[in-house]
Amino acid sequence: MGTEMVMVHEVPFPPQIITSKPLSLLGQGITDIEIHFLQVKFTAIGVYLDPSDVKTHLVNWKGKTSEDLAGDDDFFDALASGEMEKVIRVVVIKEIKGAQYGVQLENAVRDRLAAEDKYEEEEETELEKVVGFFQSKYFKANSIITYHFSPKDGICQIGFETEGKEEEKLKVENANVVGMMQRWYLSGSRGVSPSTIVSLADALSTLLT
């Protein structure tokens, strides 16, 4: 194709991916932590959306500045819950055990569900399935986790690729669990990656101008 990759903290991301239609890289960032004044980067993140979906579903925020959007959790709730196709691509920078990542995901999703009184037996079972998918894996540097969120039916396909192995996939079909997985990455001030939220706010405010 010859398409130039977009570098996100030295990690290459395709500017567009094709699912049922082309989706564009509209947000990017990292997860990181500061230890003794040193920044340790864990993952690089790319958020892919259809720009026309953004204009249709988020029209109420037309004309808002990127600063307005970055601080508006209602906007990011609308993005996460909007009936539009989304792909979140996560690339490992610092290798960790899949079990560690799975526990972070489990805690974030469970706490959000419990706060909204939506954590029932069905959600617990589905979340255990997701944690089990990551449990035995080792996240080498440059391993890729992909979340492909369907626009309407509350389904997410998770993919995991690592060097020398075939991609493994898991379908998550509990809409409450899927919704909170989206919010883990896309929920404004409560999102796991503030830099991704700022980047999305910049891109989406331009689209909504």
Domain locations along the chain = 6-52+82-185
In 37-174 the beta strands, taken as DSSP E runs, fall at 38-49, 86-92, 96-97, 138-139, 144-149, 156-161, 168-172
According to DSSP, residue 80 is labeled H
According to DSSP, residue 188 is labeled G
pTM of the entire predicted model: 0.95
- The Cα-based distances of 124 to 129, 169, 176, 178, 187 in angstroms read 9, 20, 10, 12, 21
CA atoms 100, 102, 108, 111: torsion sign: negative
The CATH code of domain 6-52+82-185 reads 3.50.70.10
Kindly report the average pLDDT of the chain as a whole number. Answer: 94
pLDDT of 146-160, one tens digit each?
Answer: 999 999 889 999 999
The distance between the two most distant Cα atoms of the chain, rounded to a whole number of Å, is 49
pLDDT of 101-141, one tens digit each?
Answer: 999 999 999 999 999 999 999 999 999 999 999 999 999 99
Tokens 């809409």, residue located: 175
